[in-house]
Amino acid sequence: MNVAAARRVARPSWVNLRTALGLLLFGTALLGGQRVLAADDSREHIWAATRDIPQDAVLTPDDVELVSVQLPAHLGGIYVDEDAALVGQVATRPVRAGELVASAWLAPTPETAAGRWMTIPVEPEHAVGGALQPGDRVDVLATFDAGNARARTVVLARAVDVLEVVETGALAFGEETVVGVTLEVGPEQASRLAFASRTGAVDVVRVDGPVEQDERAATVRSGDFP
């Protein structure tokens, strides 16, 4: 009995094309996943306030929580990360719910948490038109070397409390009428404000509402603008 020889059926060429396309999609997905993981690796775990914390309050576990954020390089080291123990620390200034907790806002005991009262002179048009009131929260900025290529504006203090406002005309600085704003600041802020008051032009910005997490200390230079 004669048996016909079996013939091998050739694999259709479209199978290879489909396989190649599948491998391409798999590789793309894998690369995308790696990029997502790499981006996640750059995020930090920082302590943030879960509710409004008044000044001089001793922190409890219910006051703070860890949040995952990706901070700009120039903010590295400003905020308290997961390696620090916050419970039992004293808040040296009010902290709003959701704010990241800066190390400069903490002290180990109430005695070391004492704030400084400091009055800085500022022209009314650079202090909300002289409309500041005790109880306001303000940012303080200083511009150095105004008018030349080295000009830069620096944030000196964020969301500090206004304790008192000296009426316009009560202080004189040279020939310019100024308003004196008394602020409660920390030791480092006090030295920066003292220097800026004598060497730069000071602006006071009133803060309404909570401080956004991306509104932190920064320096702006003349070269930043086209």
Q: 11: pLDDT confidence band, cut at 50, 70 and 90?
A: low
Q: Is the pLDDT of residue 57 over 60?
A: yes
Q: Is the pLDDT of residue 112 over 80?
A: no
If you search the block for the tokens 């704030």, which residue do you land on?
Answer: 115
The pLDDT tens digits for 121-158 are 888 888 888 788 888 889 999 999 887 878 888 888 88
| Mean pLDDT, rounded, for 52-73 | 87
Q: Is the pLDDT of residue 7 over 80?
A: no
CB 56 within 8 A of CB 113: yes
| Mean pLDDT, rounded, for 69-88 | 81
| Mean pLDDT, rounded, for 191-204 | 89
**Please, how many CA atoms are within 13 Å of residue 4, restricted to the half-sphere of its CB?**
3
Average pLDDT, rounded, for the chain? 75
Q: 176: pLDDT confidence band, cut at 50, 70 and 90?
A: very low
* Nearest Cα to Cα of residue 55 among 5, 91, 7, 109: 91
DSSP-derived secondary structure letter, 10: P
Phi, psi of 19, rounded to the nearest 5 degrees: -65, -45
pLDDT of residue 3: 53
| pLDDT more than 70, % of the chain | 65
Q: Is the pLDDT of residue 8 over 60?
A: no
pLDDT of residue 66: 92
pLDDT of residue 64: 93
Q: Is the pLDDT of residue 19 over 70?
A: no
| Mean pLDDT, rounded, for 43-56 | 88
Q: Which residues pair with 46 in a beta bridge?
A: 67, 81
* Nearest Cα to Cα of residue 121 among 112, 113, 130, 108: 130
Q: Is the pLDDT of residue 12 over 60?
A: no
> Who's near 134: CB < 8 A, 6+ residues apart?
162, 163, 164, 165
- pTM of the predicted model over 0.75: no
